[in-house]
Amino acid sequence: MSRLEVTVAQTREIILDAALRVIQEQGLARATTKEIAKAAGFSEAALYKHFTDKSEIFLGVLHERSPRFPDMQRALTTKPGTATVEANLAELASAAIAFYHHNFPMFASIFSDPVILDTHRTRLRQLGMGPHLANQALARYLAAEQQLGRVRADADVEAAADLFLGGCFQAAFLAHFTGRDRPDAPERYAALLRSLLA
């Protein structure tokens, strides 16, 4: 298929695939729109027909080329009262750890450059997005389970959410730091939190 025959939707997918490759190979700081366009086989102008800026391309990569943690966050609204709390937490931990582990090199790139970090932070605010939303979604889920009597009535669900996702992030960090391909099993985190909330 020639570039002339590529549909608008396909063009966007090709750009995101190319952006992911460039970010993984060169790091976020060197993943310029020029490099992404070159890897995709398009002009830079083609990128701006689909994305307003580099930050939006990066967000597209995070949300559409990563393990399904954002989907799992949204699914938490349907989880209260289903399965067991521990099973639901294990599913979330699995998605969270996979997401953090997959994206850790990109996160490191963001924090290594104050300009990129500030731009990314500003862009997330404009879009009403950010990492804090995962903590809030989990706290809401735990509060709903609390209302159903499946989580201890005096449990601090916000602190529990912070501890749980912090542990998932640490598991991903340690896997990268020690050179392991995979982080620890997520069931450990689910069982621990469930014991604290029971």
* Residue 198 CA, distance from chain mean position: 28
pLDDT (0 to 100) of residue 1: 45
Q: What is the pLDDT of residues 15-34, one digit of tens each?
A: 999 998 998 888 777 889 99
pLDDT (0 to 100) of residue 6: 65
Look over the chain and give the mean of its residue pLDDT values, rounded to a whole number.
Answer: 86
Percent above pLDDT 70 for the chain? 95
The model's pTM is: 0.78
Residue that finishes a domain, picked among 47, 63, 79: 63
- In contact, 25 and 38? CB cutoff 8 Å: no
Q: What is the pLDDT of residues 132-148, one digit of tens each?
A: 999 999 999 999 999 99
Q: Which CATH number covers residue 120? A: 1.10.357
Q: Are residues 24 and 55 in the same domain?
A: yes
Q: Are residues 197 and 156 in the same domain?
A: yes
Q: Which residue has the higher pLDDT, 149 or 182?
A: 149
Residue that finishes a domain, picked among 24, 40, 63: 63
Q: Which residue has the higher pLDDT, 191 or 13?
A: 13
Whether residue 2 has pLDDT greater than 80: no
From CA 164, how far away is CA 171, in angstroms rounded? 11
Q: Are residues 2 and 76 in the same domain?
A: no
The total number of structural domains that make up the chain: 2
Q: Are residues 39 and 86 in the same domain?
A: no
Q: Are residues 138 and 45 in the same domain?
A: no
Q: Are residues 58 and 103 in the same domain?
A: no
Residue that finishes a domain, picked among 37, 63, 89: 63
Q: What angle do CA 70, 73, 76 make, to 5 degrees?
A: 155
Write out the residue range of the structural domain in which residue 156 sits: 66-198
Whether residue 50 has pLDDT greater than 70: yes
Q: Which CATH number covers residue 37? A: 1.10.10.60
81-105 exposure pattern, b = at least 16 Cβ within 10 A, e = fewer: eeeebbebbbbbbbbbbbbbbbbbe
Q: Which residue has the higher pLDDT, 51 or 108?
A: 51
